Structure formats: C-alpha cells, structure tokens
C-alpha cells in the first residue's frame, strides 16, 4: 500500500522544487523498429470513400440472445463498420443523419486522429451539428498508423449506447506481417432483454458516481465468443474498450502475449501482464495463439468477479515452433516534447462540491435540448462545462502557443476513475504517482482516484481541442473543457 500522506508530501516537495521528481519514472523507451514515414511524405495518392448513415436498425446481436433491439448504427454491418486505410491514404467519409428523432443531431469525432481541427467532429465548436436529413463530408489523411475508433460528440451516451460506433484502422506499421490481425471490440449494453428495450443510458445515480454500467457484456457483439486463430501463431489483437462507462482490468490467460501499441502508437513489445483500460482506450497485443484444439482467454479482473470476455481458439496446423519473440511495430512520428523547455500545466478533475450552480445558459430553440447536460457533477480546474451543452462553449480552459511543448499534471481529486482524453494531439505519458507504466504515448489516459499522471505534448495542431473524461456521463455532466492552440 502506498502511504498517502508520504506520497502527498513527496508530491508537494517535488512541486516546490519546480519538477515532479516524486512521480514514478521508468527508463526511456528502447530502440524502435524502423520508423514510419513522416506524415508529409506518407501520402499515397489513394482516397478511400466511406458512407456512414446514422439510422435506427433493429437488430438481434448475438449478445442480445435473439432479441431485437432498436439499435442506432452507422451501417448495416455488424457489430460495427470497420474502415481500413493504408498509411498515407486519404479518408473521405460522408455522414448522413437518418436518425428517427426530429431533434437528434449528430457528427463524427475520429478519436485519436491528429487531424485538422475542422474535421474533429465536435458540434458547435468546430462544425455545425448535422440534423436529421442532413449530411456532412469529412476528409483527412491520418498522419499516424494504428487502431482508432469513431463516435458522435453530443448525446454520445445514448448514440454510442445504442450502437453508433465504428473502428478505423490505419495499416502500415508492421515490420513483418503477423499471422492474423483481429479487432476485439469490448463494450457493455444497457438492455432489458425481456422487454426488448434499452435501459435509460443516463441515470442521476450513475452520472454522479462511476457511471451507469451495462447489463450485458460483449466482445464483437457476442458474449464470450470463441475467436478462431491459426494455431501456435503470432496474432495481432486490436483491443478497443468503447464502453461508455466501464474501466476494465484486462489480462490474457493461457497464452503468452506482448503489448505492442497503446492508443495506436507503437511501443517496443513488452510482456503483457494486464492493462487498466478505461473507455476509449485501446492497445494492440501480439499473442502466441494456443496450439490446435486449445484456447486462451481475455479476461477482465477489474470487478468483483473475473469475467471472461473472449476466447482465442487455435485452429489448423501449428504455424510457429520457435520461442515467442514478436516483431515490433514501426515507431510513430508523434512530435517529441522538449521536456527541458516545456511549460507546465495543471488540470485537476474534481466533483462540484462547493461550486454554486451556474445560471442556466440554454439558448432558446430545440437544438439546445439535445446536448443539454441533465445535471452537473464534475469540474476541471473548478469549472464545469456550462449546462447549455456544446452550443454554449465557455472560454478555453487554457490557451497554448502553437509549436510549444507542454507538460501537464492531471490530478484526480475524486473517488472515481476518469479516463482523460485530449483531442488532436498524442501525448507522452511520463509517469504516475500510483501506477507503474512503461513510457508510452496515448490520447486517453486513466486517472485512478487521487492519482496524478503527468503527460507531455507539443501543441502543434492549431484549433480548439476538447479535453474531457471519456466516461460519457461524466463528460455530459460537466467534466469537459477545451484547450485553444494558436
Ligand atoms: Cu472519444 Cu471527445 O472523444
Ligand atoms: Cu470521469
């Protein structure tokens, strides 16, 4: 057990010294495999077109046990659409809103992609909301390879809760092909299977605490599916937690595995001994699959009981006989923050105790009703996002200078977990005062209760970029802000 008082004293002392020497730091990353082409040079000249039609599509996913539920999805493909690009490809995606509710506007946020601000999909802040009957065209060339996903950015609790999510994979990071490449999309569903209906996605009880948990857990739309892999092979598993709420403590049982990338960004493969995976967090594993006829499991040990989420079954002849020594992925071209010159920032995630309720700022008209926070519970640096929702943005939480390096201390002063996400940038996770993590890059980092995590990044992408908790009910009840880079 960590002695909290000693820890806080240590932190205070290191803060007084002007640094953060009290944070746990591990050695710098060992040499990577040959790096990716720089973003500017990666253009392939190829454009990939996608049409995403947000609509109600009643479906019986395997995890619904044959019951049809009024899902909202981007396409008829189940469980979700997967868009695959090669590094350097341009994505041209048309979003069409055919949602059945007259006021239900939407947009697409391409989570983790370092794209131009006007393609970031945050309604009101960077683009107009897309009303039913309307469409919006996105176009960008992702600068990085890896495993990403996309979702809406208003009423996300319900839109994602009913199924509106998709996977975006940018290929081109392997140094030698793996023997298989599978997406493992983890999420719960808040459903009442007897009644064939979704449960309310937002509850006051959940929003003010850890969030409203789902009632059915799933991997790729099924309960504990068996995923066939070639036997005794080095298989890439792209694990995505796209749950609105649940933090998972994921382990592999019955096989050797290495973690090869976090939030799409390669790290030198290190043996996988579990990863605390909050909503929106991803990691790529290389798993030496079991021999033919045997299986391994992905389990969540974060709750009261161990839950098996998916099984991996070895099938066919053994592919590899040698020791498990997986090939690394190519190093990313995320700009390296200059830690010596970095300007310090501090963001504290807290509840609203002691804060007076702000005047309601809801503008007249029906658009206001959808993004409207139902209540406010959470703050960043003592400010809560105004109850008007996205359409009444407050001033930026911080104004950053384009091109400058920043190191930000992210502190959780609550009893609950907060996976904190910054748009448009990929940050380096420098260390935590609670958890030991390998040095890695991420777009979302988990803050456990009373934990401080330090991250650093180069503010190289101009625009207004959201900084928020990815427990969607926390985001929608105050724990949301934005940084202006100019
Ligand atoms: Cu995945 Cu602002 O979100
Ligand atoms: Cu949160």
Which ranges in 272-366 belong to alpha helices (H)? none
Provide the whole-model pTM.
0.90
Question: What is the distance in A from the centroid of ligand 2 to the CA of 201?
Answer: 15
Which DSSP state fits 207?
H
Supply the pLDDT for residue 204: 85
Considering every ligand atom shown, identify the ligand nearest to the alpha carbon of residue 410 and give its number. Answer: 2
For the CA of 475, the closest atom of ligand 1 is 2
Supply the pLDDT for residue 22: 34
Which ranges in 199-319 belong to alpha helices (H)? 204-207
Which ranges in 150-239 belong to alpha helices (H)? 156-161, 204-207
For the CA of 444, the closest atom of ligand 1 is 1
Supply the pLDDT for residue 61: 96
Supply the pLDDT for residue 389: 64
For the CA of 151, the closest atom of ligand 1 is 1
What is the Cα–Cα distance from 11 to 402, expressed in whole angstroms? 29
Considering every ligand atom shown, identify the ligand nearest to the alpha carbon of residue 120 and give its number. Answer: 1
Question: What is the distance in A from the centroid of ligand 2 to the CA of 479?
Answer: 7
For the CA of 423, the closest atom of ligand 1 is 2
Considering every ligand atom shown, identify the ligand nearest to the alpha carbon of residue 278 and give its number. Answer: 2
Residue nearest to atom 1 of ligand 1 (CA): 111
Considering every ligand atom shown, identify the ligand nearest to the alpha carbon of residue 444 and give its number. Answer: 1
Question: What is the distance in A from the centroid of ligand 2 to the CA of 210?
Answer: 7
Q: Please give the C-alpha separations between residue 174 and each of 116, 256, 377, 440, in angstroms, as whole numbers.
A: 26, 19, 43, 18
For the CA of 111, the closest atom of ligand 1 is 1
For the CA of 466, the closest atom of ligand 1 is 2
Supply the pLDDT for residue 87: 96
Question: What is the distance in A from the centroid of ligand 2 to the CA of 31?
Answer: 35
Question: What is the distance in A from the centroid of ligand 1 to the CA of 469?
Answer: 8
Question: What is the distance in A from the centroid of ligand 1 to the CA of 20?
Answer: 28
Residues measured by CB to lie within 5 Å of ligand 2, the ion: 418, 469, 471, 474
- Number of other residues whose CB lies within 10 A of the CB of residue 341: 8
Supply the pLDDT for residue 35: 84
Beta pairing, strands 307-315 & 427-432: unpaired
CATH topology for the 176-315 domain = Immunoglobulin-like (2.60.40)
Residues with CB under 6 A from ligand 1: 109, 111, 151, 153, 280, 421, 423, 466, 468, 470
Question: What is the distance in A from the centroid of ligand 1 to the CA of 109?
Answer: 6
Question: What is the distance in A from the centroid of ligand 2 to the CA of 26?
Answer: 27
Beta pairing, strands 378-380 & 343-351: antiparallel
Supply the pLDDT for residue 257: 98
- Cα 434 to the center of its chain, rounded Å: 21
47-171 belongs to which homologous superfamily? Cupredoxins -  blue copper proteins (2.60.40.420)
Considering every ligand atom shown, identify the ligand nearest to the alpha carbon of residue 280 and give its number. Answer: 1
CATH topology for the 343-485 domain = Immunoglobulin-like (2.60.40)
Residue nearest to atom 3 of ligand 1 (CA): 111
Q: Where are the chain's structural domains?
A: 47-171, 176-315, 343-485
Supply the pLDDT for residue 371: 59
Beta pairing, strands 234-241 & 265-271: unpaired
For the CA of 280, the closest atom of ligand 1 is 1
Question: Can 47-171 and 343-485 be said to share one CATH topology?
Answer: yes
User: Running along the chain, 486 residues long, what does each successive block of 10 average in pLDDT?
Assistant: 32 31 37 74 91 97 96 94 97 98 96 98 96 98 97 95 98 95 98 94 89 97 98 98 98 98 95 96 98 98 95 97 94 94 97 59 41 73 78 90 98 97 98 89 97 98 98 93 97
E-only strand ranges, 263-382: 265-271, 275-277, 282-288, 295-300, 307-315, 343-351, 378-380
Question: What is the distance in A from the centroid of ligand 1 to the CA of 421?
Answer: 7
């Amino acid at each position: 057990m960590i002695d909290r008082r000693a820890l806080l004293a240590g932190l205070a002392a290191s803060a007084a010294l002007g640094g953060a020497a009290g944070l746990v730091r591990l050695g710098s990353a060992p040499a990577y495999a040959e790096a990716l082409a720089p973003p500017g040079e990666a253009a392939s000249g190829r454009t990939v077109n996608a049409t995403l039609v947000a609509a109600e599509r009643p479906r019986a996913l395997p995890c619904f046990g044959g019951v049809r539920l009024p899902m909202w999805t981007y396409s008829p493909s189940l469980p979700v659409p997967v868009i695959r690009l090669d590094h350097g490809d341009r994505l041209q995606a048309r979003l069409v809103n055919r949602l059945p509710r007259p006021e239900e506007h939407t947009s697409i946020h391409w989570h983790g992609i370092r794209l131009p601000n006007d393609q970031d999909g945050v309604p009101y802040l960077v683009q107009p909301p897309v009303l039913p009957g309307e469409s919006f065209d996105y176009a960008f060339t992702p600068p990085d390879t890896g495993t990403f996903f996309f979702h809406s950015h208003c009423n996300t609790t319900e839109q994602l809760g009913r199924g509106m999510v998709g996977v975006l994979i940018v290929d081109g990071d392997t140094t030698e092909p793996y023997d298989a490449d599978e997406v493992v999309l983890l999420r719960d569903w808040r459903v009442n299977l007897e009644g064939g209906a979704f449960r309310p996605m937002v509850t006051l009880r959940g929003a003010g605490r850890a969030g409203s948990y789902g009632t059915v857990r799933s991997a790729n739309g099924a309960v504990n599916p068996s995923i066939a892999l070639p036997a005794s092979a080095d298989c890439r598993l792209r694990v995505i937690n796209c749950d609105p709420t649940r933090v998972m403590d994921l382990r592999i049982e019955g096989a050797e595995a290495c973690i090869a990338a976090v939030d799409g960004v390669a790290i030198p493969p290190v043996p996988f001994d579990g990863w605390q995976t909050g909503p929106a967090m991803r990691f790529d594993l290389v798993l030496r699959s079991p021999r033919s006829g045997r299986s391994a499991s992905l389990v969540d040990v974060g709750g009261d009981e161990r839950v098996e989420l998916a099984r991996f079954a070895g099938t066919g002849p053994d592919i590899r006989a040698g020791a498990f020594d997986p090939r690394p992925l190519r190093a990313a071209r995320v700009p390296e923050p200059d830690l010596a010159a970095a300007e310090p920032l501090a963001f504290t995630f807290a509840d609203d105790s002691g804060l007076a309720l702000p005047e309601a700022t809801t503008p007249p008209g029906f658009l206001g009703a959808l993004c409207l926070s139902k209540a406010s519970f959470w703050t960043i640096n003592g400010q809560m996002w105004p109850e008007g929702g996205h359409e009444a943005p407050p001033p930026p939480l911080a104004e950053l200078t384009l091109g400058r390096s920043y190191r930000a201390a992210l502190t959780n002063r609550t009893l609950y977990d907060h996976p904190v996400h910054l748009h448009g940038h990929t940050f380096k996770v420098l260390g935590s005062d609670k958890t030991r993590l390998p040095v890695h890059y991420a777009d979302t980092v988990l803050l456990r209760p009373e934990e401080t995590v330090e991250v650093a990044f180069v503010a190289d992408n101009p625009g207004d970029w959201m900084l928020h908790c990815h427990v969607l009910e926390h985001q929608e009840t105050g724990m949301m802000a934005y940084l202006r880079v100019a």
